[in-house]
Structure 1
Amino acid sequence: MSKPLILIGGGGHASVLTDIILSQGQNILAVISPCEIESRSVFAGIRHIKEEREISEFSPEEVLCVNAIGMLPNSEQRKTIANRYRSLGYRFASVIAKSAQISQFSFLDDGVQVLQGAVIQAGAVIGAGSIVNTGAVIDHDSVLGALNHIASGARICGGVTLEDEVFVGAGATITQSVNIGRGAVVGAGAIVNKNIVSYGTIYPPKPFLRVKE
């Protein structure tokens, strides 16, 4: 039997993860968040801890944590949470939706989150703490570093390499064999067919709108 879980974070991403976890019959002992969570019905009946220091009542040997902080471009919060709790001896559970399609010949590191309808093909590698969001596709032989976020509907084609902490926005496409440097941001809807340097940013061109007079 898997260890009971402690969720860190109580926002929208946390609510999606909670829904997946509960649907799989796993036990969530508590949600740690300084914000109010009671307005989200998915958290009903789960203990709410507002003070992070109260994590100490749970032994690292007896529970697993879930990093339920979502990821935004250039945000360090998810990384900070991961580093802080690991320094206290806690490990992170992966959360995999039943409707995700994951090849048995892929590799997912610790703490990976794969949401509903996502596809991960043969030979793909997903680094620790990364999020493959709703309906995203990671094609064959692509390698994602740690703490990547592949947003809803994004497509990573075959043989792509993403270094650590890359953010790929909703509906973006990265074409075959492209390399994306550490900390880069690919905006929603962008099509990337060339390499991006570390901490580089690319967004799709703004559409031209003709206004009738």
Structure 2
Amino acid sequence: MKEKLLIIGASGHGKVVADIAKKINKWKDIVFLDDDENIKFSMGVKVIGKSVDLYKYLNEYDFIVGIGSNTIREEIQLKLEAAKASIASLIHPTAVIGEQVKLSNGTVVMAGAVINCCTKLGKGCIVNTGATVDHDNIIEDYVHISPGTHLAGSVKVGKGTWLGIGSIVSNNINIISGCKVGAGAVVVNDITETGTYIGIPARRV
């Protein structure tokens, strides 16, 4: 771990990441990179350049990608990995993390989230505000679990899937990679075909 943190992305999700980083209080300095030249400060944190400038700061900073899009987050994190950057994971102080939970690099756990025992989260995931992930879940890389989403026990969520706000996934469910589950949807059967799913029970549209 380094003494400074660089967050890539200074907009909505990046602001929340910065707020967590401030509350963790591990880093002496926190800065942003963002491609919008009009943003000079965000959350009182200075924007020091664009995302292409990340290579200048590899020796000084830990990195985290503060971008909500799963696809863009993956693209940037892969660049960081290729450059052998130090990639952080952030956990809000009010989150509850069970025993034998594994969080991989680049994953962020927001305020009030609960991750119960023996769950594994891949790289670059988001467990958003007030979401719950119960025991023995396997959450693959670059999954976004939106605010107020609830996953029961022994759920597997494939890479790059987005679970919309307030969605619910019943126990022992497998969801294939690259899916979108709409707000408030309830998943009670395995999702084996990539697509967008909405409703109660969730159906492909």
Give yes or no for TM over 0.5. Answer: yes
2:177 to 166, 177, 182: 182
CA contact under 8 A between 2:41 and 2:47: conserved in structure 1?
Answer: no
Q: Does 1:21 align with 2:21?
A: yes
1:198 Cα deviation (Å)? Answer: 4.4
In the alignment, the residues of structure 2 paired with residue 24 and residue 186 of structure 1 have an alpha-carbon distance, to the nearest angstrom, of: 31
Paired position in structure 2 for 1:54: 53
Question: Percent sequence identity over matched residues?
Answer: 29
Farther-moved stretch of structure 1 (182-191 vs 48-57): 48-57
Alpha-carbon displacement from aligned partner over 1:111-140 (angstroms, at most 9, x marks no partner): 110000000001111111100000000001
Q: Which amino acid is 2:48 matched to?
A: I
Match of 2:39 among 37, 40, 51: 37
Q: Which piece of structure 1 moves more, 193-202 or 20-29?
A: 20-29
Q: How far did 1:200 drift? A: 2.5
Counterpart secondary structure, 1:76: helix
Residue aligning to 2:130:
135
Shift, 1:56, TM fit: 2.9
Work out whether residues 7 and 28 of structure 1, in 8 Å CA contact, stay in contact via their aligned partners in 2. Answer: no
Unaligned runs of 5+ in 1: 206-213
Indicate whether 1:97 and 2:92 are aligned: yes
Distance 2:80 2:115 in 1: 28
* 2:88 partner letter: A
Matched, 1:7 2:7: yes
Secondary structure class of the residue paired with 2:84 = coil
TM-score, normalised with respect to structure 1? 0.86
* TM-score, L = length of structure 2: 0.89
In the comparison of the two structures, how many residue pairs are matched?
198
2: CA distance, partners of 1:181 / 1:37: 37
Task: State the Cα distance separating 1:183 from its structure 2 match.
Answer: 0.6
2:66 counterpart (68, 76, 79): 68
Residue number in structure 2 paired with 1:211: none
The structure that is strand-richer by fraction is: 2
Relative distance call for 1:56 and 1:105 in structure 2 (3 A) is closer
Residue 197 of structure 1 aligns with which residue?
A: 192
Given that 1:107 and 1:125 are in contact with CA atoms closer than 8 Å, whether structure 2 keeps it comes out as yes
Following superposition, the deviation at residue 34 of structure 1 comes to 1.5
- CA shift at 1:39, angstroms? 6.7
State the alpha-carbon separation in 1 of the partners of residues 48 and 40 from structure 2: 12
RMSD between aligned residues = 1.8
Letter in 2 for 1:67: V
